[in-house]
Amino acid sequence: MSDVREVIIDSIHRVAEQNDLEISNELTDESILLQSGLDSLGFAILVADLEDNLGIDPFVMMDEPVYPTTLGEFVAIYEKFTKQEG
Amino acid sequence: MESNKPKVALVTGGNRGLGLAIVKSLIDDDYSVVAAARSNTPELEELIANSDKVFFEPLDLSKRQEIHGWSKRFVEKYGAPYALINNAAIAHDGVLGTMHESQIEDVISINVTGTLILTKYISRAMLRNRLGRIVNISSIIASTGFNGLSVYAASKAALNGFTKSLARELGKINITVNAVAPGYMETSMSEGINDTQLDQIRRRSALKRLAETSEVASTVKYLLSKEAAAITGSILTVDAGNTA
């Protein structure tokens, strides 16, 4: 498991707990984000939380809007932009 | 948030006119106030010299690409603000038919786009605290109209719609979003209105006068208070009864 992936999974659980949301099943790369238990506002909090922890918001750095569907796509975006920043 | 620390309020356009009146009103109530504007003014400098609770940060809302970085640095320096007062705005006076395209773009860019983007990033800092107050300074012109201010009116009507929808988005995490719609006040913003028009506005107002900037500022302060915790998605008119 990559460090970025681990930070994201931790953050999802933390945001869910703080906002009384329940994460449905075990999270895998195929997990559909909007069926994972976080609602749209939960995702906004997650992105803000990850900006604190990883120091980047890849969605701000992108030239075009991108909305990942699965956890795997979400993690891949963060991995790509973390490498670029590093 | 630690209760013994003063709550931080960010006031855009806090260097003059209504924005400065809001800054003054909030420091009286023990907020720590950051006035963000394109430039400092002697009036704001004097306030800063006489208070350890007022700060100035240069901010140009027309520079869209810089707002994310600015917001990040703001939160690192001052912490997540308790309140954001979106007061910065420009107005170009003139009929639409002869208004230069660049002026139309300027008004929308600062009053709407820049304000919405700043709110995006500052509200994200509030999300983590599950606490916050956002006040958008609108205008009665958003609903009444005024000859020669159609673009400005459009920008303020946009803020009214923004206020109501954002209140619904952020309500469940205890962030309120409201607008204050002032009537005509004697500030540099109403310089395009001549004395005859101002007299007419006074005559047509229920209270036979204009609203003072301090009266609008105290309405903003009320929306930040504990007593206003149940108010969200509202547009409060402060116009001495001009639209009564």
Each residue's pLDDT tens digit, B155-207: 999 999 999 999 999 999 999 999 999 999 876 666 667 788 889 999 999 99
Residues of chain B with pLDDT > 70, as a percent, come to 96
Pick the CATH number of A3-85 from 1.10.1200.10, 3.40.50.300, 2.60.120.10, 3.30.530.20: 1.10.1200.10
Q: Do B127 and A57 touch (CB under 8 A)?
A: no
Token pair recorded at residue B34: 């950051």
pLDDT at B1: 43
What's the DSSP call for residue B111? I
Q: Do A48 and B169 touch (CB under 8 A)?
A: no
All residues at 6 or more sequence positions from A26 whose CB lies less than 8 Å from its CB, including other chains:
none
CB B109 within 8 A of CB B131: no
Q: Which helix (H) or strand (E) holds B93?
A: none
Nearest to A41 among B72, B128, B173 (CB): B173
The full set of domain ranges for chain A reads 3-85
Segment B136-157 shows an average pLDDT of 96
Q: What are φ and ψ of residue B36, in 5° steps?
A: -110, 130
Q: What are φ and ψ of residue A3, in 5° steps?
A: -60, -45
SS3 (DSSP) at B204: helix
Task: For residue range B50-61, list pLDDT tens digits in order.
Answer: 999 999 999 999
List of E strands, B93-218:
132-137, 175-182
Average pLDDT for chain B? 94
SS3 (DSSP) at B238: strand
Task: For residue range B209-235, list pLDDT tens digits in order.
Answer: 999 999 999 999 999 999 999 999 999
The CATH homologous superfamily of the domain defined by B8-238: NAD(P)-binding Rossmann-like Domain (3.40.50.720)
Ordered alpha helix ranges (H), chain A: 3-18, 40-54, 58-61, 71-85
pLDDT at B2: 45
What's the DSSP call for residue B2? -
**Closest among B121, B140, B146 to B10, alpha carbons compared:** B121
In whole angstroms, what is the distance from residue B5 CA to residue B14 CA? 22
Q: Mind telling me how many Å the CA of A45 is from chain B's nearest CA?
A: 6
Active site residue B78: no
Task: For residue range B113-125, list pLDDT tens digits in order.
Answer: 999 999 999 999 9
Distances in whole angstroms, Cα of residue B209 to Cα of each of A11, A61, A78, B46, B73: 55, 50, 57, 29, 42
Task: For residue range B68-92, list pLDDT tens digits in order.
Answer: 999 999 999 999 999 999 999 999 9
pLDDT at B188: 62
Residue B228: half-sphere exposure toward Cβ, Cα within 13 Å = 23
pLDDT at A41 over 50: yes
Residues of A in contact with B128 (CB under 8 A): 45, 48-49, 52
In whole angstroms, what is the distance from residue A79 CA to residue A85 CA? 10
pLDDT at B67 over 50: yes
Residues of chain A with pLDDT > 70, as a percent, come to 97
In whole angstroms, what is the distance from residue B51 CA to residue A54 CA? 36
pLDDT at A80: 94
* Residue of higher predicted confidence among A86 and A27: A27
* Residue of higher predicted confidence among A2 and B143: B143
SS3 (DSSP) at B46: helix
pLDDT at B4: 65
Q: Which helix (H) or strand (E) holds B190?
A: none
pLDDT at A24 over 90: no
